[in-house]
């Protein structure tokens, strides 16, 4: 066995083409999921190990004597012990940029559902209230346009820039936030607190780091306008969930659309899952998960493996620093 995918079920619903993977290395073993008590048996003898969220710790990596390459089926790499992999001479490669179109359309799906009350109007029709209406169009729920509104973007990497492009097509004005705590803004940026004060919508696209953990809390909600909508397709822990619940339930902000939570999968006691008002939409971390996006992910993993066997690891992560192309 040369290659194993430990949690293939996290990236496929039976709709993926694995041809590129099979051409990069063969044979493969695909597991829908792997438990901690199964991993050593499953990676025994494997040269290439691919995982999405499964954690490869020091003990696992050090014991995998045949292992030559770790591929992460994601951009984030906090589930891999990079130090141990480096000590063992094992490159770690991630995937990048594969989900941009999928995430961008999900951002605007959340924004449009919050402002157009899609689900409420859908239920109105299903419940027969349109059929019983005296007017040709029931105006039971308010509808807002995106055009002319200010979109504040926090995190202006590939995703933030792509969201900005689509926002401008909607006629929105884009406001790019400077890093929180900076006293002066770079050209083209606006001070963090000013973005919070000005924006009608705020979309988060920054990574989860110590400086971004719970970056949005009650202090930040108090700076926002009561008409502001908060969108998070980045990482759940960027927002203090208790403070968000307070902001929603007191109408401190107009609403929120979340694709991520602090704990995933969440438990039933999560405070946000207990909130039943329509100004909060939660989707289960699927912004990235279009069929096309997942196929690009697998194809990029195959590309990483192909480059590795050519002696030129690609998309390699070393000591927590992502590099585009590094020779071994």
Counting residues of the chain whose pLDDT is more than 90, the rounded percentage is 93
- Catalytic residue of the set 22, 59, 145, 264: 264
CATH number at residue 299: 3.40.50.720
Catalytic annotation present for 119: no
Is the residue at 148 inside a domain? yes
Cβ count near 203 (within 10 Å): 28
Q: Does 202 share its domain with 264?
A: yes
**Backbone torsions φ then ψ of 29, nearest 5 degrees:** -130, 120
- 285 as an active site residue: the answer is yes
313 has a pLDDT exceeding 90: no
For residue 305, being part of any structural domain is answered with yes
Q: pTM to 2 decimals? A: 0.90
Average pLDDT over residues 259-280: 94
Asked if residue 64 and residue 122 are part of one domain, the reply reads no
Same domain, 218 and 296: no
Model confidence at 1, in pLDDT bands (50, 70, 90)?
low
Q: Which of 173, 252, 285, 306 is catalytic?
A: 285
Average pLDDT value for the chain: 94
Q: How far apart are CA 159 and CA 122, in angstroms?
A: 30
| Whether residue 37 has pLDDT greater than 60 | yes
Asked if 20 and 302 touch (Cβ cutoff 8 Å), the reply is yes
Mark whether 31 and 162 lie in a shared domain: no
145 shares its domain with 234? yes
Under the banding of pLDDT at 50, 70 and 90, the label for residue 325 is: very low
Say yes or no: 221 and 136 in one domain: yes
> Are residue 298 and residue 182 in the same domain, yes or no?
no
| Residue 45 and residue 122 in one domain | no
Return the number of other C-beta atoms located less than 10 Å from residue 79's C-beta: 14
Residue 272 within a domain: yes
Residue 196 counted as domain residue: yes
Do residues 156 and 271 both lie within one domain? Answer: yes
Task: State the pLDDT at residue 319.
Answer: 64
**Pair 161, 46 in one domain:** no
Residues 265 and 309 in one domain: no
The answer to whether residue 327 is domain-embedded is no
pLDDT tens for 106-124 read 999 999 999 999 999 999 9
Whether 183 is in a domain gets the answer yes
Which residue range(s) make up the domain with 304?
Answer: 3-98+291-322
Q: Is residue 201 a part of any domain in this protein?
A: yes
Q: Within a domain: residue 328?
A: no
Total domains present in the chain:
2
Q: Is the pLDDT of residue 64 over 70?
A: yes
Quick one: pLDDT at residue 324?
44
Helix (H) or strand (E) holding 214: none
Q: Clarify whether residues 29 and 58 are in a common domain.
A: yes
Who's near 270: CB < 8 A, 6+ residues apart? 241, 261, 263
| Among candidate residues 157, 175, 153, the one with its CA nearest the CA of residue 108 | 153
Active site residue: 117, 235, 294, 296, which one?
235
Indicate whether 51 pLDDT > 90: yes
Q: What are phi and psi of 71, to 5 degrees?
A: -115, 130
Residues 6+ apart with CB under 8 A from 214: 237, 238, 239, 240
pLDDT tens string 164-219: 999 999 999 999 999 999 999 999 999 999 999 999 999 999 988 899 999 999 99
């Amino acid at each position: 066995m040369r290659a194993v995918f430990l949690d293939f079920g996290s990236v496929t619903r039976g709709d993926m083409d694995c041809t590129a993977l099979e051409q990069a290395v063969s044979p493969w073993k695909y597991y829908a999921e792997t438990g901690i008590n199964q991993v050593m048996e499953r990676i025994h003898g494997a040269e290439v190990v691919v995982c999405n969220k499964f954690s490869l710790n020091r003990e696992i990596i050090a014991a995998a004597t045949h292992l030559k390459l770790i591929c992460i089926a994601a951009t984030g790499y906090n589930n891999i012990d990079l130090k141990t992999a480096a000590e063992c001479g094992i490159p770690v490669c991630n995937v990048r940029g594969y989900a941009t179109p999928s995430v961008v359309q999900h951002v605007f799906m959340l924004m449009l559902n919050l402002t157009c009350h899609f689900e409420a109007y859908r239920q109105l029709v299903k419940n027969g209230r349109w059929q019983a209406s005296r007017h040709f169009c029931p105006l039971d729920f308010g509808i807002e346009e995106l055009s002319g509104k200010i979109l504040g973007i926090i995190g202006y990497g590939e995703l933030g820039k792509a969201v900005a492009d689509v926002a401008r097509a909607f006629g929105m004005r884009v406001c790019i936030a400077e890093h929180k705590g900076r006293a002066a803004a770079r050209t083209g940026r606006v001070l963090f607190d000013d973005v919070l004060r000005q924006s009608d919508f705020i979309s988060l696209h920054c990574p989860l780091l110590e400086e971004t953990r719970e970056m949005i809390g009650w202090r930040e909600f108090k700076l926002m306008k009561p008409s502001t909508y908060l969108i998070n397709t980045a990482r759940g822990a960027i927002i203090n969930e208790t403070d968000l619940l307070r902001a929603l339930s007191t109408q401190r902000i107009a609403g929120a659309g979340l694709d991520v939570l602090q704990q995933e999968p969440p438990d039933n006691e999560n405070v946000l899952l207990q909130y039943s008002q329509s100004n909060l939409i939660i989707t289960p971390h699927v912004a990235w998960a279009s069929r096309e996006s997942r196929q690009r992910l697998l194809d990029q993993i195959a590309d990483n493996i192909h480059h590795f066997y050519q002696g030129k690891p690609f998309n390699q992560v070393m000591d927590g620093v992502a590099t585009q192309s590094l020779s071994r």
